[in-house]
Amino acid sequence: MIKRRLPSSASVANSAEDGKLVAPAASRNSDALCALLRDWAPSQGQALEIASGTGQHIAAFADLLPGLQWQPTEIDSERRASIDAYTRDLPNVARARELDATTAGWHVRFPEQNMILLINLIHLISWQETRTIIAETAKVLRPSGRFVLYGPFKRSGQLTSEGDKRFHEALTQQDPDIGYKDDTDMIALFEDVDLTVLNTVDMPANNLAFITSRPAT
C-alpha cells in the first residue's frame, strides 16, 4: 500500500491497557456491524478480515459468531499487537497476520474463505488499489462465500450529508487519489469480478454495507 497523507480524523486510535488500542469509530459502529453480520454472515467456516485495525471489531464478531474461524490481518505492526491483545483468549481467532491487501497476489496466502470482511478502508485508498482488493477477494472466496464491504460512499455520484462533504474534501485535499467511491461504480466493479450483490444496506452515520457473494458452482 502506498503510504498516503491522511487528515488527522481519518484513522484515530488511542492507547489503552495491555497493548490494546481503542478507535472511537470502532466503538461507535460495533453494535451495528454485529447486527449486520448476524443477518448475513455464514454460520461456520473460515472468515478473513482485511485491515482489522485495532481488533475491537473482530473480537466482537468472533464472540457473536463462534462457528466461524477468524483470521485478522493488518499492515501495521502496532495494530497487529493490539488485535492479538483483544483476541488472545478467543479460541476461534488466529494471530493477526501482516497483509497489504492493495498488492496483487495475496489471494494465494488466504485461500478458500467462507466470508471476507472489509471495514472503513476504501475511502482511504485509490481506485486502482480498490480494484486490486476486490479482484483478489473474488479469487479467495469459496463458491457461495460472502464478501461484506462497509464504509462511507457516494450515492449515484452525490455526497448526501454535510459531514460526508467535509470529510471527502479533507481526504482529497491531502491526497487527490483517495476519497469516497461511488456506490454505482462499486456495484459495477463487483460485477466485473463475478461477485453478485445480494443487498446494499443503509447503516448508521450515513454509511453503506454491500453484501456480495461468489456464485455457487
Considering only CA atoms, which of 67, 160, 82, 157 is closest in space to residue 114?
67
Find all residues with CB under 8 Å of 22, minimum gap 6, and list them. Answer: 13, 14, 15, 16, 54, 56
Residue 7, pLDDT score:
47
Residue 9, pLDDT score:
52
Give percent of the chain above pLDDT 70: 93
Residue 18, pLDDT score:
81
Question: Which stretches of the chain drop beneath a pLDDT of 70?
Answer: 1-16
Domains in the chain, start-ordered, CATH in brackets? 14-213 (3.40.50.150)
For the chain, how many residues are written?
A: 217
Alpha-carbon span 140 to 73, nearest angstrom: 14
What global pTM score does this model have? 0.93
Q: Are strands 68-72 and 45-50 parallel, antiparallel or unpaired?
A: parallel
- The residue written with cell numbers 466485473 in the block is 192
Residue 19, pLDDT score:
82
**How far from 84 is each of 12, 28, 187, CA to CA, in Å?**
19, 21, 34
- The residue written with cell numbers 456480495 in the block is 212
- Which of left, alpha, beta for 77 (phi over 0: left; psi -120 to 50: alpha)? alpha
